[in-house]
Every structure is written in C-alpha cells, then in structure tokens.
A and B are shown apart, each in its own frame.
Chain A
Amino acid sequence: MMKLSLKRKIIRIIGLSFTVLSFLMIFTPILVILVLSINASTKGYSWEGFTLKWYLELFQKDVMREPIMNTLVIAFASTIIATVLGTMFAIGINALEKKKRIQMMVINNVPVVNPDIVTGISLMIVFSLLSFTLGYYTVLIAHVFFSIPYVVLSIMPRLKKLDPNLYEAGLDLGCSRISGVFRVILPNISTGIISGALMAFTMSIDDFIITYFTSGAEYMNVSTWLYATLSRGRSFTPAAYAYNIIIFAITIAIILFVNLKRDRKEKTV
C-alpha cells in the first residue's frame, strides 16, 4: 500500500493542480490590492516605488473618514444586536418539536440562500412602506436582518449537542427561567455564539449590495462610497486599498486569536 498506483497518482496530481489554480484565482486580487496599497502611484497603472503614505493618509485626511466610521459603527452595532437576538432565537428554535424546528430553520435560511439583491429590494420595500427615511437606522436594521440567520446557523449545532434535560436540571436546582438560560445554556454554547458574532461582523463590514439598496443617497459605507465614486467616473484615493488591508489584517488576527484560545481551552478540558 505504500506505493500509490499510477491512476491514483494522476488523480492526486489533478486535485493538487486544481487546488493551486483555485488559490491563485482567489488570492490574485488580494495581492493586487496589497501592491496598490504600497505603490506610490495615485492612479495605480504602474509601479512607482514603495510607500506607506496611503496608510498614513487614512488617519490624517478626512476623505474616507465618514464612510469608514459608518462602516465600523454599523458593523459593531449590528453584530451585537444580531448576536443577542440570534442567540435568543436559536435557543427558542431548538426547543421546538422537530417538525416546527425544521420549518423555522427553513425560514431562517431564506435570507442565506436568497440573492443579496432580492434581500436588498425586499428590505427597501418594507422601509418605504413604513415610511422610514433611508439612512443609518435602515442600514442597521438591514445588517441585523441578514446577520441573524448566520448567528442562528452557527449556534444550532452546539445547541443540538446539549442534553435536552440540561436546562431543566438548572430549573430543578433552583434557577428561574431566565437565569437558567444564563447559567446553564449560554456557557455551553459560547463557542457557537463567538463564531456567529465573528461571521456577522465580517459580513457586515464587507457588505455592498444590501447597504446599497437600504442606505439612500446620503448615508454611505466604504463599499457604497467606492461604488458612488466610480459611478461618477472619478477615481478614489489608494488609501481605500490601505483601509482594506488593515481591516483584513485585523480580521485575521481576531480569528487566529479566537481559534488559538479555543484550541487551548479544548486541550485543557
């Protein structure tokens, strides 16, 4: 068995080369963004030497301050709200009898499967029906809306693994209905909650389409600001690339940190 047959070797080589090709396709744009963020040229058509000035500009000039602030505020706020609500809903759904639970999960997955453009239009219609002015609050509600299903999806497997009597054991030993949730259920699904929150955050910070349809003409996040700038035929400052690289690096750092911590925790248990 040590020697692979020729046929298997060929299959392995195909798998390997397709994998390399995939990584190439997925990483090329990231590399280009990285190069553009450290290129001295403003237009970005040729290499004019290494610079970090776009990174500095990000903190010094006001060009992008508003869209960046909007993006971050929405990302943090929607993550917190979606995580709290999503956790609550997931606990409720898990407690349902099987048939109803599956029905609720099907409903939960509608926004996940629906193309963003359909979700965006749907939200826009509801907001106009309620006569909400498109802006900060509508974008916040929209982001909460599309994040919750992902929070629910990441918590559900954890909940399913719990002994159904666990919560009742808590009540039996003196917990009230609410404190039972906090003392017994939440500590046992915390890893699911954290990964759900991370997912909500990364989805919110990069969203374009849904924000585009629910933000109106005035309120912009980084994505819609970029699109608006390009649509007017203008070019934007390479500081945008620098912003992207920084967010990118921070996200990786957070995920690495969470995963390492989880690994260590799992090892000690």
Chain B
Amino acid sequence: MGKKLIIMKNITKRFGDNLVLDDFNLYINENEFITLLGPSGCGKTTCLRILGGFETADEGTVEFDSKIINNLEPNQREINTCFQKYALFPHLNVFDNIAFGLKIKKLDKATIHTRVMDILKMVKLTGFEHRAISTLSGGQQQRVAIARALINRPKVLLLDEPLAALDLKLRQEMQYELKEMQRELGITFVYVTHDQEEALTMSDTIVVMDHGKILQIGTPEDIYNEPNSRFVANFIGESNIIPGKMKEDYLVEFFNKEFECVDKGFKKDEAVDVIIRPEDIDFVPPSKAKIVGTVDSLIFRGVHYEINVMIEGKEITIHTTKYRKIGDKVGLSVEPNNIHIIKHIKTCVD
C-alpha cells in the first residue's frame, strides 16, 4: 500500500434535520480499492459526493495529496466519478461522451482521437464510437461511463453503485473487469455499494457504514471472519447470533453448554452475543454432539442446502452439502476459531 492520498477528518453533514454523516473519519491509500458498504441511507453516497465536490461538508476537512480541498469545485479536482445510472449525455454519441473531458481541456483533435480509441479498446467497445447512447445495453453504457471518467486520468475514481442496474451474470463479469482495471491502471477506486458480495469480491479494504458512522474497517477477510458487531455480522453474509455468557477467557457458554473459543478480555459471566456463520456448523451424530436439534425446514440452494435446525426453541441456520430430512434429529459441532464473541447489545428484537 502506498501513502495516504485522501484524509477525511471529522466530516459532519446534515440535510435539514437529518444527520447524514456524523463525525466521519477515514483515510484512503494510494492505489487502494476501498468500498463503502452499507444499507441505503447510511451516508455512503453523501461521502462519495463530498469527495467528488458535489456536496460540501458542514464540518470537518477533506485532504487530498496533503492539501485541503473542501472548497475546490468538482472540475478542479483530480477525481472523476462514475455515476449511479451512469449519467451519460443523451445528446452526444459514445465518442463525444468519452471525449467530453478532453475537449473541455482543449486537447488537439488527434490526441483526443487516439486516447478515445485506446480507452474504447480497454473497455472492449471498439467500433461503438458513433453509436447513440440510447441504443446501448446497460452493460455497454456502464463501460462508456467508466471510459468517460478514466480518460481524464484521475488519481481517484469514485464509483456510485455502478453495477446496481445490471443483471447477475453481467454484474459478476464486471466485478472481475473492474478489479483488473484498477490493478492495471494503478488508480485509487472508491466504490459505493449495498451489495456485500460485490464488496467482498473486489475490495482491498471494506468500510461498513450505518447511520452516518463507520462500524468497521478492514480487509474482506477481517470483516467476514471477525465482525465486530451484530450489525456487521448480519449485513455481511448470513449469521446465527446466539445469546451467551462468557465463563472465562477462551470459554463461552450458550445453549447451556460450554464451548472453547479464541476470544478473551470479557468480564466473568458477562452476557455476550455468539456469532456463528451457517457454513461453519457441521453435522455430527447426535450421540457425539454437545448440541442436538431437529430439522425444521430445508431449502435446496444449488451449491448447498440451507437447513434450519430448532434447538431449545431457537432456530439455527446451517449451510451444508449433507442432506437431512425434515424432522431428523441432528447433532451440531463448531470449531473454536469459528465462534466469534461480541459484546451483547440490547435490541428490541430479543
């Protein structure tokens, strides 16, 4: 990782009475693929718009390359944006859309032509230069939008839910291509999405946000394996969240049984939440198991079965390739390093 390219310090933003960003602090490294992940309304798009210069923060500073850029107009920033729903210019064709930024910089015609042709090749749209925007498919429009932003050779590319309008197959393809592009060009990508799968696949760093605050920052592996809160655990993949009690360091009790774990630093008998991923639970014969339950429902998901098991009136979800009938008695086991302990937060759902 390179140096810190962008530093957002104590950013606060309100729309009317609505606090959208609440004392938000984040730094972004050079050449990093960073994803802001969170449900709609969590402030991620606003954060992006403040970086792009479309909104100004009520409080706090944005530093870019060690200079404060709070009051710079969007056209004075070495940052370009790939907008939600693309915002391609309907009155211009593919070539003129892509050439837009270069024409404003008043580059000579030959240079513009070469650069547009090069970038069209990169986004695999050679031959499309004279097409009208309205005749392109969603995926092609997406590529034009990326080309239009990248041709200006920005230091940072902001992407606001760029794949949201595409169908599943295309989305997966584009995820791969975007990651490739970012690696080859060596540009910082700041990516906004509410899709956890997208975030896990592409990012170097994931920032999980909710209600204008950062909940957790980390690599995809960190975030997935060590969620630091109920919200993160639930938002990133599926989770079983089971109320428990910390007996001592490395020993937790839930379902009235004691389990070894890898967490420490809790008070004795402190109430905790135990998080276990559905794929981390294994079936074992009931006789050898600490916890035993009955299969309550079963859905075939393609790669695996999703099986709900009732244990003492609580439902636990398990992803497994092993088939069990509804009504079967099953024993469950979990490896100690797959048991994640977080502080118990009281919610009204309990």
Output the least CB separation between B54 and chain A (Å): 5
Bound CA–CA A175/B74 (angstroms): 9
With A165-B85, A165-B87 in contact, is A173–B101 under 8 Å at CB?
yes
Question: A163-B85, A269-B132 are known contacts. Are A171 and B54 too (CB-CB below 8 A)?
Answer: yes
Q: Tally inter-chain residue pairs, CB-CB below 8 A.
A: 69
Q: Mark the stretch among B76-84, B237-245, B264-272 that contacts chain A.
A: B76-84
Bitwise interface map of B from 67 to 111 toward A, beta carbon under 8 Å scored 1, else 0: 000000111000111011111111100000000110011000000
In the complex, whether A176 has a CB less than 8 A from a CB of chain B is yes
Say whether B13 faces chain A, with CB atoms less than 8 Å apart.
Answer: no
* Chain A nearest Cβ from B88, distance in angstroms: 8
Residue of A with least CB distance to B160: A165
Q: Which residues of A contact B80 (CB under 8 A)?
A: 172-173
| A77 partner residues in chain B, CB cutoff 8 A | none
| Chain B residues near A184 (CB-CB < 8 A) | 89
Contact between A187 and B91, CB atoms less than 8 A apart? yes
- A159–chain B nearest beta-carbon distance, Å: 13
| Closest CB in chain B relative to A42 CB, distance in Å | 54
Of B73, B79, B89, B101, the contact of A166 (CB 8 Å cutoff): B89
Tell me the smallest distance from the CB of B99 to a CB of chain A, in Å. 10
Residues in A neighbouring B134, C-beta threshold 8 A: 269
Cβ distance B148 to chain A, nearest Cβ, rounded Å: 7
B117 to chain A, nearest CB (A): 18
A188 located at the interface, meaning its Cβ lies under 8 Å from any Cβ of chain B in the complex? yes
B300-311: contact bitstring with A at CB < 8 Å (1 yes, 0 no)?
000000000000
Known: A165-B83, A269-B132. A172 touches B91 (CB 8 A): no
Report the Cα distance A75→B132, complex, angstroms. Answer: 37
Q: Does B52 contact A (CB under 8 A)?
A: yes
Tell me if A174 counts as interface (CB < 8 A to partner B).
yes
Whole-angstrom distance from the CB of B22 to the nearest CB of chain A? 22
A169 with B75: CB separation less than 8 A: no
* B73 proximity list for chain A (CB < 8 A): 171, 176-177
> In the complex the two chains form, is A174's CB within 8 Å of B132's CB?
no
Interface size class of B (residues with CB under 8 A): 20 to 34
Q: Nearest chain-A residue to B85 (Cβ)?
A: A163
Point out the residues of chain A lying under 8 angstroms from B91, CB to CB.
187-188
Distance of A97 Cα from B195 Cα, bound (Å): 28
A169 with B87: CB separation less than 8 A: yes
A175 → chain B closest CB, angstroms: 6
CA distance A179 to B81 in the complex (A): 18
**B321 in the interface (beta carbon within 8 A):** no
Report yes or no: B85 in contact with A174, Cβ–Cβ below 8 A: no
Residues on B with C-beta less than 8 A from A171 are: 53-54, 73-75
- How far is A268 from B105 in the complex, measured between Cα atoms in Å? 30
Chain A residues contacting B320 (CB-CB under 8 Å) are none
B105, closest chain A residue (CB): A174
Q: Does B152 contact A (CB under 8 A)?
A: yes
Q: Which residues of B contact A176 (CB under 8 A)?
A: 73, 75
* Contact (A172, B52) CB under 8 Å given A177-B73, A269-B132: yes
Report the separation of the CA atoms of residues A162 and B318 in the bound assembly, to the nearest whole angstrom: 47
Q: Which of A173, A187, A269 contacts B148 (CB 8 A)?
A: A173
Q: Bound state CA distance, A163 and B83, in angstroms?
A: 10
A188 touches B100 (CB 8 A): no
> Which residue of B has the minimal Cβ distance to A166?
B87
Residue of B nearest to A187 (CB): B91
A176, B73: Cα distance in complex, Å? 8
Question: Assuming A168-B54, A169-B81, A269-B132, is B87 touching A175 (CB within 8 A)?
Answer: no
Q: Which residues of chain A have C-beta atoms less than 8 A from B152's C-beta?
A: 173-174
Question: Which of the residues A165, A166, A172, A269 comes within 8 Å of B75, measured between beta carbons?
Answer: A172
Interface residues of B (CB under 8 A from A): 52-54, 73-75, 79-81, 83-91, 100-101, 104-105, 132, 134, 148-149, 152
A165-B84, A171-B74, A188-B90 known; 15 other A-B pairs, CB under 8 Å? A163-B86, A165-B83, A165-B87, A166-B87, A168-B87, A169-B81, A169-B87, A169-B89, A169-B148, A171-B73, A171-B75, A172-B53, A174-B104, A174-B152, A179-B104
